[in-house]
């Protein structure tokens, strides 16, 4: 069975708030656009330390863009506090690890 292509998108920075979110999302969407159909887009959140709800918003926007293109989607290393925020908003299942 052939292996599924996984492609790492730009990692989330150490700080991702309303100020940084548009630039990171634009970079990630450019990277996403270059992936072949059927690939899985992987985002690392391991470095993320400071964030507001914008971090969750950009991850969900990128997820929607990936799914529109028929790509798989995964987030690695989501900080526990961001996972909790996703649970409060009822979207934790949309950010598989």
- Is residue 97 within 8 A of residue 78, CB to CB? The reply is yes
The pLDDT tens digits for 4-20 are: 799 999 999 999 999 99
The pLDDT tens digits for 28-61 are: 999 999 999 899 999 999 999 999 999 999 999 9
Q: Which residues pair with residue 59 across a beta bridge?
A: none
Q: What is the pLDDT of residue 2?
A: 40
b vs e for 72-94, b when ≥16 Cβ sit within 10 Å of the residue's Cβ?
A: bbebeebbeebbebbeeeeebeb
List the structure tokens of 61: 């926007």
**Total residue length of the chain:** 97
Q: Where are the alpha helices (DSSP H) in 1-97?
A: 21-33, 53-68, 80-89
Non-local CB neighbours of 30 within 8 Å, separated by 6+ positions: none
Q: What is the pLDDT of residue 40?
A: 95
Flag whether pLDDT at 78 surpasses 50.
yes
């Amino acid at each position: 069975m052939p292996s599924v292509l996984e492609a790492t998108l730009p990692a989330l920075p150490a700080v991702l708030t309303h100020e940084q979110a548009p630039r990171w999302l634009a970079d990630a969407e450019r990277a996403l656009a270059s992936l072949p159909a059927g690939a899985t887009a992987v985002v690392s959140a391991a470095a993320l330390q400071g964030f507001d709800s914008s971090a969750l918003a950009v991850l969900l926007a990128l997820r929607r863009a990936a799914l529109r293109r028929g790509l798989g989607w995964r987030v690695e290393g989501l900080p526990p506090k961001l996972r909790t925020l996703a649970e409060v908003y009822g979207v934790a299942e949309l950010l598989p690890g």
